Structure 1
């Protein structure tokens, strides 16, 4: 895989519960504001025993999420809704160029909150899975020197509050009074020993997603990790 920074891998190796390692873009370390883009889940797409075997072998490896992210995000003509929508919203463009897409994904880290594959699109993560995922994310913040987190979906807000409270980390998350696609954004901050981290929760971009409206929220409340 290209456009990937592997310098953080020795830390990831020390965390056995970190089932899949984050994608860390090749320009992440030099980004003006280190940004973690936090997806939600991997869904098992299998229909046959052979497909199940392939899926389980792939997602038994720590680089599985990186391969999936590379296949969806860095194949710029692939119509993966959640990837293309978040690009439009962050880059504020209906048709971002391949150069701008590459600059964006190279400048951020990407990770999934839920570290168990879900059986199908009909399944939703449990709050226990969200809490376990946030526990791992909080342990990544210092080594990655994260300054802001953009979260796909709002369903894990309470789980983060619970995990932060258990660790005695002040966490403030408020509903933004803008109903977009029947979803209110959530924004706030998490105080850590390494500094305050800005948080923004948006509608999961795999759903019907008005990118212009969500772009306005992102532009107002987030520091863009790359100049376009």
Structure 2
């Protein structure tokens, strides 16, 4: 295992991950293999921080894992995009440490865009998304994922995936869910390497994320395990 992850990380896939074209290895929660629904939570981008020193840290293949331990499970930073997603999952404003640990040890967390964004003004290109989706499909096959919750509803992001799948003659079933404000979440379902995958696209939870409304979408889409889906909101 690379680094110290306090027992929260499963490194059993690392030999297989080493063979994939990934700049960063994904966070694999220690309870992922035992989870009811094998789920990847797919973020978007990693941004450059702290100048050259930050760049050196980011380029380490375990940097995403270290960031997710500190930002996700240990919650050392505000990390609005994580806190908002946790609120939607548990349908409550302040999930506690035990709930955070339960969530993030039960899933894989990864980022779609395979390069560092140089500034907050930098945005992923169509080619970034297309490369990222090709990498994602390989990752999903290796870890035997059943579903994925994708941060972001940009047409370019969804279109890049549809183009990748079309190039592989993969049939896709698309279902639009009830709109949340101006956002229309959708589900894409398809077979890849004889493995069924279901992807739910939601608004990126970084800002202006109506977590109470998105909590309903997560439940109606069927991506949450029963013990969370039936929680009463607080």
Question: Which residue of structure 1 lines up, in the alignment, with residue 75 of structure 2?
Answer: 76
Q: Is the 8 A contact 1:103 1:226 kept in 2?
A: no
Say whether residues 1:150 and 2:149 are aligned partners. Answer: yes
**1:167 maps to 2:168:** yes
Q: Distance in 2 between matches of 1:114 and 1:225?
A: 27
The residue number in structure 2 matching 1:33 is: 37
Deviation of the 1:60 alpha carbon: 2.0
Q: Deviations over 1:57-80 (max 9, x none)?
A: 112211111111112102236311
Q: Residue 231 of structure 2 aligns with which residue?
A: none
User: For the Cα contact (< 8 Å) 2:84–2:211, is it kept in 1?
Assistant: yes
Deviation, 1:56, is 2.1
Report matched runs for 1:77-226 at 5 Å: 78-155=77-154, 156-180=157-181, 182-225=182-225
Residues 77 and 71 of structure 1, relative CA distance in 2, 3 Å threshold: closer
* 1:18 paired to 2:19: no
Q: Tell which deviates more after alignment, 70-79 or 209-218.
A: 70-79
Provide Cα deviations, 1:132-185, integer angstroms capped at 9, x if missing partner.
0000000111211101100000121111101111122222234324133x2211
TM-score relative to the length of structure 1: 0.92
Distance 2:177 2:219 in 1: 14
CA distance in 2: counterparts of 1:170 and 1:64, whole angstroms: 35
Q: TM-score, normalised by structure 2?
A: 0.89
Say which SS state the counterpart of residue 111 (structure 1) adopts: strand
CA distance in 2, matches of 1:85, 1:118: 22
- Taking only aligned residues, the RMSD between alpha carbons, in angstroms, comes to 1.5
CA contact (8 A) 1:113 1:133 kept: yes
Unaligned runs of 5+ in 2: 229-234
Match of 2:9 in 1: 4
Paired with 2:176 and 2:202, the residues of 1 have a C-alpha distance of 11
Cα deviation digits, residues 13-72 of structure 1 (max 9, x gap): 112x21001100000000011000000000112xxxxx3221221122111111111121
The structural deviation recorded for 1:125 is 0.4
Greater shift in the superposed pair: 62-71 or 24-33: 62-71
